[in-house]
Amino acid sequence: MLREQLTTEIEVFKALFEYLELTSYTIFMERNWFSLLWDRSKKPLKSLSSEDFLALLKPKCREIVTERELKSLLDSKKKLRIKYGIDATGSDVHLGHAVPVMLLNLFQRAGHEIHFIIGDFTGKIGDPSGRSDKRKELTDSQITANMKSYSKQIEPLLDLKKADIHKNSTWLNKMPLTDFFKVLTSISFGEVAQREDFRERIASGAGVSMREANYAALMAVDSLHVKADVEVGGIDQLLNFMQARNVMSHDKSIGKPEVVLATPLIEGTSGDGRKMSKSFNNYVGIADEPDNQFGLIMSIPDYLVQQYFISFGDVSEGDLHDLGSFVKGEPLEAKKQLASLIVAIFHGEGKSKKAREGFERKFAKKEYTKDDEVIIKITSSPLGIMDALIEAHGDDLSKSKIRILIEQGAVHRIEGDSSETLGTEDTIMHDDLVRVGKKKIFRFHQK
Domain 370-446, architecture per CATH: Roll (3.10)
The dihedral region occupied by 260, where left means phi > 0, alpha psi between -120 and 50, and beta the remainder, is beta
In angstroms, the CA 232 to CA 108 distance is: 13
Q: Decide whether 266-367 matches 370-446 in CATH topology.
A: no
pTM of the predicted model as reported, rounded to 2 decimal places: 0.75
Q: What is the pLDDT of residues 264-279, one digit of tens each?
A: 999 999 888 999 998 8
Residues 346 and 51 sit within 8 Å (Cβ to Cβ): no
Give the CA distances from residue 259 to residues 81, 238, 253, 402, in Å, rounded to whole numbers and listed in that order. Answer: 11, 11, 17, 48
- The pLDDT assigned to 193 comes to 66
Q: Hey, where are the domains in the chain?
A: 38-263, 266-367, 370-446
Q: What is 376-391 written as a DSSP string?
A: EEESSSSEEHHHHHHH
Mean pLDDT of 319-331: 95
Q: What is the pLDDT of residues 87-112, one digit of tens each?
A: 877 778 899 999 999 999 999 999 99
Residues 150 and 91 sit within 8 Å (Cβ to Cβ): yes
Mean pLDDT is lowest, of 153-162, 164-173, 320-329, 428-437, for 428-437
* Most confident among 37-46, 175-184, 364-373 (mean pLDDT): 37-46
For 38-263, CATH gives: 3.40.50.620
In angstroms, the CA 186 to CA 321 distance is: 43
CATH superfamily for domain 266-367: Tyrosyl-Transfer RNA Synthetase (1.10.240.10)
364: confidence class by pLDDT, cuts 50, 70, 90: low
- The pLDDT assigned to 302 comes to 93
Mean pLDDT of 400-422: 81
Bridge-partner residues for 231, per DSSP?
Answer: 83, 260
- The pLDDT assigned to 161 comes to 93
Q: How many residues can be counted in the chain?
A: 447
